[in-house]
Amino acid sequence: MFWRTVLVAAFACFFLAVPDVDLLLLSLLHHRSILTHSALPAVIPFLFRRRIGLMPTAGALIGLHVHLICDALSPAVGFGQVWLPAPFKTPLGALSPLWLIVNAGFCFASAQAICRRRMPGLSGAVMVALTGGVIGVLYGLLNERSVLSAAVCLIFPGFLALAIRQRLRKAPSGA
Ligand SMILES: [Zn+2]
- Tell me the pLDDT tens digit for each residue of 50-87: 999 999 999 999 999 999 999 999 988 888 899 998 88
CA angle 56, 16, 8 (to 5 degrees): 25
Is pLDDT at 172 greater than 80 in this prediction? Answer: no
Nearest Cα to Cα of residue 8 among 71, 68, 53: 53
Instruction: Tell me how long the chain is.
Output: 175
Q: How far is the CA of 63 from the centre of ligand 1 (A)?
A: 12
Mean pLDDT value across residues 27-41: 92
Q: How far is the CA of 19 from the centre of ligand 1 (A)?
A: 5
Q: How far is the CA of 123 from the centre of ligand 1 (A)?
A: 30
pLDDT band at 29 (very low <50, low <70, confident <90, very high): confident
Instruction: Give per-residue pLDDT as tens, 123-156.
Output: 999 999 999 999 999 999 999 999 999 999 999 9
CA distances in angstroms from 155 to 69, 104, 105, 129, listed in the order given: 9, 11, 10, 10
Q: How far is the CA of 25 from the centre of ligand 1 (A)?
A: 13
Q: How far is the CA of 84 from the centre of ligand 1 (A)?
A: 14
Is pLDDT at 164 greater than 90 in this prediction? Answer: yes
Is pLDDT at 170 greater than 80 in this prediction? Answer: yes
Which protein residues have their CB within 5 A of the ion that is ligand 1? 19-20, 71
pLDDT for res 101: 97
Q: How far is the CA of 122 from the centre of ligand 1 (A)?
A: 31
Instruction: Give per-residue pLDDT as tens, 83-115.
Output: 998 888 898 899 999 999 999 999 999 999 999
Q: How far is the CA of 81 from the centre of ligand 1 (A)?
A: 10
Q: Are 119 and 1 in contact (CB under 8 A)?
A: yes
Q: Are 39 and 88 in contact (CB under 8 A)?
A: no
Q: How far is the CA of 32 from the centre of ligand 1 (A)?
A: 5
pLDDT for res 171: 78
Q: How far is the CA of 145 from the centre of ligand 1 (A)?
A: 15
pLDDT for res 173: 59
